[in-house]
Every structure is written in C-alpha cells, then in structure tokens.
Amino acid sequence: MKKAILAIIALLLMGAIAGVIYFKQTYSKAFEDQREHIDPLDESDITFEGTKPLEGVINVLMIGSDARDDHELSDTLMIGQYNSKQKTLKIASIMRDTYINIPEYGYYKINAAYALGGPDLVRKTIEENFDVPLNYYAIVDFKAFPQVVDLLAPNGIEVDIPYEMSHGIGMVLEPGKQVLHGNEALGYVRFRHDAMSDFGRVARQQEVISKIKEQAVSVNTVTSLPKILGTLDAYVATNVDMKTMLGMGTGLALNNFGEVETLRIPLDDTYTDGYYDAAGQVLEIDFEENKKALQDFLRPTPKKTSTLLNE
C-alpha cells in the first residue's frame, strides 16, 4: 500500500510520538487492540540509501500521495529538518509540478519520481538537483490523517477560512474562524480549487503542521501513547531507527523548539508555467536561485561531511 501523505504528519509524528516505541512493550495489549483492524503499509520492498546525518541535524524526506489521485504519483513532497543544537524544526515543501531532471529518466514532474523508483529515486532527484543531503524517509498513509489530528490535536485546529471550501473535499467548510477536527482538517488541506490552486494547498498544509505541533508537543499523558502508536504504526513506513526517534522525542519534550519554520520551492518570481505533452502543466523553475534558497534554509553548522549509511 503506497498511497501516502507526509505533508501534514510525518515530521510531527517522529517528534511527538518518538518515545512511543518504548511503550509498545509496556502497553502491548492496548497497542494491538488499536491496530488490529488496520492493514499495515508494506515496507518490504522499500530501499533508501540515505546519507549519515550530521551531528544534531536530521533531514527526513517526507512523501505523500492523495488516494483519490493516481496510485503511484506522489501528491506531496517535503523535507523535514530536526536540529537539536539550534532547537529548530523546519519544513521545505517542493511543488509536485516542478519540472526536473530525474536521474536515468530525464525530465518529468518531480512527483513522477516516486512512481518510477520509490523513495530512493526521489532522494536521488533532490540530492542531484538541489545538493541537499537526505538521511531518512517517512511515508504515512492518508487514511491515518483524521485519526492522527484527533489524537495529537484533541482540541481541534483553529483556522481562519477566507471563503467557502467545498469542491472536491466531500464537505462544506464555511468562511470565518473555525475549529477543525480530523476529517474537516483533512478537507481543509486537500482543497485546491481556488485561484492559488496547489500553492494554496501547500500553504494550508504548512499552516496545519504548525498548529498540530503546538498541541502535539504537549501530549504527555502516558495512557494516550499506546493509542497513538496503534494508529501510527500501521500507517507509517520509515527507516528512522528507535534510538534516533527516542532522541528526537526527548529533545522535543524537554526543549522549546518554537514555531515550525517553512519554505516553499519554487520561490515567488522564480518559475514560469509550462506545458509538455508527456507531462502536462509544469512549473519550470530557476534551479540556481531555488537551490541556493533551499540550501540556505536547511544549512546546519558545517563541521562534518555526510557519508553514505552503508559505507
């Protein structure tokens, strides 16, 4: 099952539920009860040759696709960065229609890389075009989104909706300040039928990430951890190891990381709309300017050089 969304959940999950792995044994019955009706993601055929993280800095490739769209094209692509030294959380969104050179395949929209070669080809595409190292991947099935919102943000997410949203999301969201819960929040981040199209959708995703984070880092009731784990374990596919997860969770729990910093690629005024028969509508971007912006945004303290994990 490779319909996934990382856009809203993945970075937060790794921080907010990092310690949950420890509780899996302690609360094994509650864990099993929660996940017994869930078909887990198949991780058996996923390969990922990420680079070894720099000390204190972790870059996670977050991939997601809307189950309503093509089953293999990634619908959302983000890079999440956890920096324990500078106490920062960052998320860079790359627009799915970015026209890019995919290694060994040539120019396609970047969302085709996942279909052509899985998360590792997405990694290669980003690393070769933007020269940004990626250490881990995380994939979350879209089905988990409403449950995760309700678990990590039990009080709901307050947003200011500028106009009625209804087309393509199976509900009507009225304009004005609203408190959204699971399915409503899903509709909010899915909506793309306005003048901003995909750009508006990405902005709403980043908004919701920040709002979930505000509540997620305060979720410290031990009894809620098995339920969170039971929901997430079947829907999350990642190669982040237990030690790293625990370190991220402890860091988030004990330190003030402030607001989530965000960036969108391409930047304003650095792209033009294009069209190709094989790809359809695309974004042709200024790679030099956007490469520099992404590197500057994610740049950790340059003391060590990344090396392959399997070296």
* The pLDDT of residue 84: 86
Question: What are the φ and ψ backbone dihedral angles of 271, each rounded to 5 degrees?
Answer: -150, 160
Residue 35 has pLDDT above 50, yes or no: no
Q: pLDDT category, 18, cuts 50, 70, 90? A: very low
Which residue reads 């099993």 in tokens? 32
18: nearest Cα among 255, 240, 260, 205: 240
Alpha carbon distances (Å) from 17 to 6, 65, 131: 15, 22, 30
Angle at 228 between CA 224 and CA 230, to 5 degrees: 120
* The pLDDT of residue 194: 73
Mean pLDDT of 83-103: 92
Residue 15 has pLDDT above 70, yes or no: no
d(CA 25, CA 149): 24
d(CA 223, CA 199): 39
Q: 45-65: per-residue pLDDT in tens?
A: 788 999 998 888 999 998 875
* The pLDDT of residue 125: 98
Residue 304 has pLDDT above 50, yes or no: no
**What angle, 0 to 180 degrees and rounded to 10, lies between the N-to-C axes of helices 145-152 and 197-216?**
40
More confident residue, 21 or 250: 250
Mean pLDDT of 266-289: 95
Q: 210-257: per-residue pLDDT in tens?
A: 787 677 655 444 445 556 656 666 667 888 877 787 677 666 666 666
> Encoding tokens for residue 132?
């940004």
Residue 272 has pLDDT above 70, yes or no: yes
Residues 79, 298: contact at Cβ < 8 Å? yes
pTM reported for the whole predicted model? 0.73
Residue type, 183: N
* The pLDDT of residue 154: 85
* The pLDDT of residue 136: 95
Residues 89, 260: contact at Cβ < 8 Å? yes
d(CA 292, CA 297): 8
Residue type, 93: S
* The pLDDT of residue 230: 63
Strand pairing report for 157-161 and 176-180: antiparallel
Domain residue extents for the chain: 10-150+220-297
Peptide bond into 266 cis (omega under 30): yes
d(CA 165, CA 187): 8
More confident residue, 144 or 150: 150
When the pLDDT of each residue in the chain is averaged and rounded to a whole number, the result is: 76
* The pLDDT of residue 294: 98
Q: pLDDT category, 76, cuts 50, 70, 90? A: confident
> Encoding tokens for residue 273?
């709309």
d(CA 145, CA 231): 10
> Encoding tokens for residue 206?
């980043």
Which range is least confidently modeled, 54-68, 132-146, 209-223, 266-280?
209-223
More confident residue, 88 or 107: 107
CATH code that applies to domain 10-150+220-297: 3.30.420.590
DSSP 171-212: S-B-SEEEEE-HHHHHHHHH---STTHHHHHHHHHHHHHHHH
Q: Please report which helix (H) or strand (E) contains residue 102, including its range.
A: strand 99-102
